[in-house]
Chain A
Amino acid sequence: EVQLVESGGGLIQPGGSLRLSCAASEFTVSDNYMAWVRQAPGKGLQWVSVIYSGGDTYYADSVKGRFTISRDNSKNTVYLQMNSLRAGDTAIYYCARRYTITWAFDPWGQGTLVTVSS
């Protein structure tokens, strides 16, 4: 079964750094577009970043320059390095795989909660 499992969330002080991981099963991350999408408590979905199969990366304006998406092909895992964290970054962070050759994403992982607070 195709599966994504996120980890690495937690409580972090403003200005701090955190690295999220997204481990994939039953498919190869480097053959796919992989995205991170976040959801602040009680709010809607917000796209954060995407890494193409060719390695190109793109970011939402709100995280550009602070977050970095990457992947480790040997571990079949995608990462999101988050620096200079702000209270507004508090959210559940989901990773998701592109669905076929389109701009939809499925499946999604269960999410990992990041709380930025002093």
Chain B
Amino acid sequence: QSALTQPASVSASPGQSITISCTGTSSDIGGYDYVSWYQQHPGKAPKLVIYDVNNRPAGISNRFSGSKSGNTASLTISGLQAEDEADFYCSSYSNINILVFGGGTRVTVL
């Protein structure tokens, strides 16, 4: 069982927006602004799309945005495109386990 809880799957049509939630505890998400999100296409290595809750690395589309409230973080993808179809993982610094990940969310573009 993963330390952070994500929905197993989310789907939407092209052009729509989706939001993926990631729930932890006060020892991780709720205690630190060190939430990150990774995109992983099949057979590929993960790629960072959001860090420190709501910051995008260089080269990442502004269609990706992040937020946090209490022990829950969220990733929103607006204007969904076919290339966004992938697995998404949240992670957070933890004062117990250093780094914890969510179980992953499969995003399907209908």
Contact = CB atoms under 8 A, between A and B. Distances in A.
* Chain B interface helix/strand/loop/mixed: strand
B98 interface: yes
A44 B104 contact: yes
Contact of B51 (A35, A102, A111): A102
Interface residues of B, number: 24
A108 B47 contact: yes
Given A100-B51, A110-B45, 4 more contacts: A45-B91, A47-B99, A50-B98, A103-B34
Contacts of B34: 102-104
Interface of B: 2, 32, 34, 36, 38, 45-48, 51-52, 57, 89, 91-93, 97-104
Given A45-B89, A106-B57, A108-B46, A99 B101 contact: no
